[in-house]
Chains A and B, each alone.
Chain A
Amino acid sequence: MSKTSAAAGKALTSSGNHFELFGLQPAFALDVEALERAYREIQSQVHPDRFAHAGDAERRASLQWTTRVNEAYRALRNPVQRASHFLSLHGVDVAFETNTAMPEAFLMQQMELRESLEDAVATKNLAALASLQSKLEADQRALEKQIAAAIDQKQDYPRAAGLVRELQFLDKLEAEIDSAYETIE
């Protein structure tokens, strides 16, 4: 399953580099304010609301650009996608689908977390769910720090790719916790 940004029409002069699109230095550490500022500046130029009365050609170009900008913004805001994008720019494929080898300790820990999740759902225990969620958040932040160190300080991209796969594992669990809330309610 390969997901790529869509509707990058022929008019796009920019390459697929999301960092470049927003005038940012490629890195895992993100200047959120600078990203938001650039995003809003660009949106104010290309958003369809600016072209409601323009011709079809301009409206089409606006739709394509806005789509691309939204997609790039969303990708950069998400740590897994930001890291994957950075690594792919450096020729490293994170390979979520094919490379599922994980350290044993990590897998054990994941199994335990999932068991707690199942218990919380079975007993409709919202408090347990909330504490699981905060534990998960702490794990995610810790992993993000390690990814930042591997990418930005050590330039150890293969190691970073492994960490990103772990982080994606945690993100999936986060989504499962969210749907567990909906199941319980």
Chain B
Amino acid sequence: MALLQISEPGQSAAPHQHRLAVGIDLGTTNSLVATVRSGTATVLPDAQGRPLLPSIVRYGKDRIEVGYPAQARQSEDPKNTIVSVKRFMGRGVKDVDHLQNAPYDFVDAPGMLQIRTVAGVMSPVEVSAEILKVLRERAEASLGGSLSGAVITVPAYFDDAQRQATKDAGKLAGLNVLRLLNEPTAAAIAYGLDNASEGMFAVYDLGGGTFDLSILRLSKGVFEVVATSGDSMLGGDDFDQRVFCWIVEEAKLAPLAPRDMRLLLVKAREAKEYLTVHEQANITAKLSSGELVDVTLDTQTFCRITQTLVQKTLVPVRKALRDAGFTVNQIDGVVMVGGATRMPQIQRAVADFFKRDPLNNLDPDKVVALGAAMQANVLAGNKPQGEDWLLLDVIPLSLGLETMGGLVEKIIPRNTTIPAGRAQEFTTYKDGQTGMSFHVVQGERELVADCRSLARFELKGIPPMAAGAARIRVTFQVDADGLLSVNARENTTGAEASVNVKPSYGLADADIERMLRDSFSHAKEDVHARALTEARVDAQRLLDATQSALAVDAALLNDQERSAIDAAVAALQAALAGTDHRAMKQGSDALNRATEDFAARRMDQGIRRALAGKKIGSL
């Protein structure tokens, strides 16, 4: 594949060591961790050689089980065994379908629901962090060192709340989250690089609990997402639900105890998987009442009871095509991702819709983790010069503000390439109005009530003026993870208010710190030692980056600027020799401030070089 040559601004002048970086597919049903070793992406199995980690966490009074051991006991301890926790990430009680069918003791908390277990009330972020911790430990044991960073994948259609919750879970698990990467994009990387593909591709990603459809253009080492669509509440789990309901009806069962519910859901899922390669599945179970369930499900019935679900996936497919401005005929290939795409009725529906056979040559369970590992390898700076690629992704849902009358003013429309930023001016509607409250929402509907509320914040200190005279500039900034921050500023006085769209539904930094402390005291790890290690790694990384920048571009600085940077470098080096993590943090902050203008100039220079058509390799 012809690749763009890309410079490496942050690269050390010295040949640097290989950084340990992993890609994590944090799935609804199963999770995986993968890494790039000797140039090849591979999934890291557990000590028993099993690649998948069932995304199941069981809370006992004094121990936590994750994966297969938790799975084995889910029917006997359903209330404390959390499955498919991804469905609850960044979600309130009213947001989740089939909540009544989940055998948990839910606690309605502001923004995100929580689950009461014998070990206490847990947020979905904490449950996910347990899964991530196991994967981190697996990777560290397998790679023989601590991880430099991780890329965690999220459904492309995840909104800001769900993304923020995922990033928080990563932090809580002690991971340096290099990037949140959209699952279909990760699959496209794995697929595109594997096949040296070029053209327009649709990625049909039906996971355990989420559905994504992304349309990407692959050309000359650039992966460009043109449109993305989906349904973050539709997945393989829903097929299990349909089978479950069918069993209850077919066997004429009375309302079930949580334990029986869990048992039948497991049986439903087994039947679904069995029907992928068989004509009929026998479902037998013994309920806690002693009642025996014995029914047979054939493929025809299975297709009939799940037909509306299959059709439901095609709605986002059509929407994405429209957004991209393409017809079915212009798509060069359809990539299938997610275990649920193994169902023959899905394969047929997709083939019929796109008028071509979908591509299945990579394991749909592993392809996302493999792509994430490849991207983690790039972000860690391990890729060889010239074998790099550029990833241009989009936000899945429009971001806006509530205006008068409960209407939404869209500030950043869906499918805008990220990072993205947009500013818009608003004004007061009453004479002498000195405050303004902002309500940030995400979604496509015109009414605030139909969109997802992300955050509310206030700007105070607007000087009293006639209605319509004040100028309040509101800036939306979406970063490369797809996460939003919002800032409001009154232009005549400079009064300012801003919000990382986070504390209203997610976890404040203080919460994360507390949870980290709790979990470390649990695991008898030393908080101080951890903080020291992190500060040291950060400081060293910054020193390396600064020194390699100076080695290349010292000419951009005058003597005074240079000596200010040198002084900050020396101060940080001195702090690094000690054991005070706060001093290291302060030293890093100081060096960051000292190099701000330098960084900006280097960036300008990079752009001039790019426009001059020169590759940095030849400079």
Q: Do A and B bind each other?
A: yes
Give, as a whole number of angstroms, the nearest-CB distance from B171 to chain A.
Answer: 16
Give the contacts of A120-159 with B (CB-CB under 8 A). none
Majority-rule SS of A interface residues? helix
Residues from chain A with a CB closer than 8 A to the CB of B592 are 55-57
Q: Which among A38, A52, A62, A67 has the highest number of chain B CB atoms within 10 Å? A: A52
Separation in Å of the B611 CB from the closest CB of chain A?
Answer: 4
Q: Kindly state the separation between the CA atoms of A56 and B592 in the bound complex, as whole angstroms.
A: 6
Verify A71–B421 contact, CB threshold 8 A: yes
- In the complex, the answer to whether A71 meets B422 with C-beta atoms within 8 Å is yes
Which A residues lie within 8 Å of B390 (CB)?
40, 43-44, 47, 49
| Chain B residue with the shortest CB-CB distance to A52 | B379
Residues of A near B607 (CB, < 8 A) are: 14, 42, 45-46, 65
Let me know if B419 and A45 touch, CB within 8 A. no
6 A-B contact pairs sorted by A residue (CB < 8 Å): A49-B378, A50-B10, A53-B19, A58-B549, A58-B599, A63-B479
CB distance from A56 to the nearest CB of B (A): 4
Chain B residues closer than 8 Å to A9, beta-carbon distance:
600
The answer to the question of A70 belonging to the interface, with a C-beta cut-off of 8 Å to chain B, is yes
Residues of B within 8 A of A60 (CB): 596, 599
Which positions in A face B, CB cutoff 8 Å? 1-7, 9-14, 22-23, 38, 40-58, 60-63, 65-68, 70-71, 73-74, 178, 181-182, 185
Among the 9-residue stretches B63-71, B315-323, B338-346, the one with 4 or more Cβ atoms under 8 Å from chain A is B315-323
A7 to B19: give the CA distance in the assembly, Å.
Answer: 32
**A57 near B417 (CB under 8 angstroms)?**
no
The reply to whether the CB of B143 lies closer than 8 angstroms to some CB of chain A is no
Q: How large is the interface on B (under 10, 10 to 19, 20 to 34, 35 or more residues)?
A: 35 or more
Complex contacts, B6 vs chain A, CB 8 Å: 44-45, 50
Q: In the complex, which residues of chain B have a beta carbon less than 8 angstroms from the beta carbon of A46?
A: 603, 606-607
CB atoms of B604 and A53 under 8 A apart = no
Query: A residues within 8 A CB of B391?
Result: 49
With A4-B423, A49-B390 as given contacts, are A11 and B479 in contact (CB-CB < 8 Å)? no
- B423 partner residues in chain A, CB cutoff 8 A: 3-7
Of the candidates A57, A63, A182, A185, the one whose C-beta lies within 8 Å of that of B596 is: A57
Whether a CB of chain A sits under 8 angstroms from the CB of B164 is: no
Chain B residues closer than 8 Å to A12, beta-carbon distance: 604
Whether A67 and B477, one on each chain, are in contact in the complex, defined by CB atoms closer than 8 angstroms, is yes
Q: Chain B residue with minimal CB distance to A69?
A: B607
A52 x B603 contact (CB < 8 A): no
CB distance from A54 to the nearest CB of B (A): 4
- Measured between alpha carbons, how far is A4 from B423 in the docked complex, in Å? 6
Residues A70 and B418 in contact, CB atoms below 8 Å apart = yes
In Å, the complex CA distance between A74 and B392 comes to: 13
Residue B117 is within 8 A (CB to CB) of chain A in the complex: no
* Residue interface mask B486-526, A partner, CB < 8 A = 1: 00000000000000000000000000000000000000000
